Chain A
Amino acid sequence: NAGVTQTPKFRILKIGQSMTLQCAQDMNHNYMYWYRQDPGMGLKLIYYSVGAGITDKGEVPNGYNVSRSTTEDFPLRLELAAPSQTSVYFCASSYGDRRQETQYFGPGTRLLVL
């Protein structure tokens, strides 16, 4: 199994541009998550999904959108990028009925907005 994969690894955006961060998992996990990690800080939940077709906001959803059309994929969309969105983005997945199981993280996407 590849586990959780993310693309791209690194991206530079100009203010106002848009992009989609890709995330995929091959473990048949029902839960998927998007976090951002600012320098020297912990992980903040942006959005999560309990299964295909179902998404919900986390702590810091403003400026982002998600969709979950399949069990495997959970892309994160940034519209009108702002410098405050400069961060490392981690996708994660877990299996279970509630969000209380081990989360497996992807390698991260480093985003710089200039």
Chain B
Amino acid sequence: GENVEQHPSTLSVQEGDSAVIKCTYSDSASNYFPWYKQELGKRPQLIIDIRSNVGEKKDQRIAVTLNKTAKHFSLHITETQPEDSAVYFCAASNNDMRFGAGTRLTVKP
């Protein structure tokens, strides 16, 4: 089955800086890659996703890039704000979605 590794496990940045979270996956047949944000005590919520026929997708301050050859994908957050502080999960799916262990992002004002 699919195995997803996520790095780093914790990330601290200054407000206004960029943050990058990276994930690798093992199943070359995986073709759907969502990113979820989970605030403390809340449910995970989708923030952006990408499919394997696209290399990059952007939505305002967040973007995701996908390298199918290397089997890795990344989340990029620019101009970070304190409200971006949360745990971010990547996932990969080919009819069997697996989640990474999460990255705790702290944005310091």
A, B in one complex:
yes
Residues of A within 8 A of B (CB): 40-45, 59, 90, 98-108
Q: Which of A40, A98, A108 contacts B43 (CB 8 A)?
A: A108
Judge whether B49 and A102 touch: CB under 8 Å. yes
List of 9 A-B pairs having minimum Cβ-Cβ separation, nearest first: A100-B32, A42-B99, A105-B43, A43-B99, A42-B101, A105-B44, A102-B46, A100-B93, A98-B95
Judge whether B89 and A99 touch: CB under 8 Å. no
Chain A contacts for B49, CB-based, 8 A: 102
Judge whether A43 and B44 touch: CB under 8 Å. yes
Judge whether A106 and B43 touch: CB under 8 Å. yes
1-56 of chain B: CB within 8 A of chain A: 1, 6, 31-32, 34, 42-46, 49, 51
Taking CB as reference atom, which chain B residue is nearest A35? B99
Chain B contacts for A101, CB-based, 8 A: 32
Question: Complex: how many Å from CA A90 to CA B97?
Answer: 15
- By secondary structure, the A interface counts as loop
Looking at the assembled complex, report how far the CB atom of A46 sits from the nearest CB atom of chain B, in whole angstroms: 13
Interface size on B, residues (CB 8 A): 23
Looking at the assembled complex, report how far the CB atom of A54 sits from the nearest CB atom of chain B, in whole angstroms: 14
Cβ-Cβ contact count across A and B, 8 Å cutoff = 47
Question: Complex: how many Å from CA A110 to CA B51?
Answer: 33
Looking at the assembled complex, report how far the CB atom of B59 sits from the nearest CB atom of chain A, in whole angstroms: 14
Tell me if B96 counts as interface (CB < 8 A to partner A).
yes
Q: Which of B31, B42, B97 contacts A103 (CB 8 A)?
A: B97
Judge whether B44 and A99 touch: CB under 8 Å. no
79-109 of chain B: CB within 8 A of chain A: 89, 93-102
Judge whether B46 and A103 touch: CB under 8 Å. yes
Judge whether B43 and A100 touch: CB under 8 Å. no
Question: Complex: how many Å from CA A52 to CA B76?
Answer: 39
Question: Complex: how many Å from CA A106 to CA B93?
Answer: 20
Question: Complex: how many Å from CA A42 to CA B44?
Answer: 10
The answer to whether residues A41 and B95 also contact, given A100-B31, A100-B32, A107-B43 and a CB cut-off of 8 A, is no
Q: Which of B32, B44, B51, B94 has the most CB of A within 10 A?
A: B44
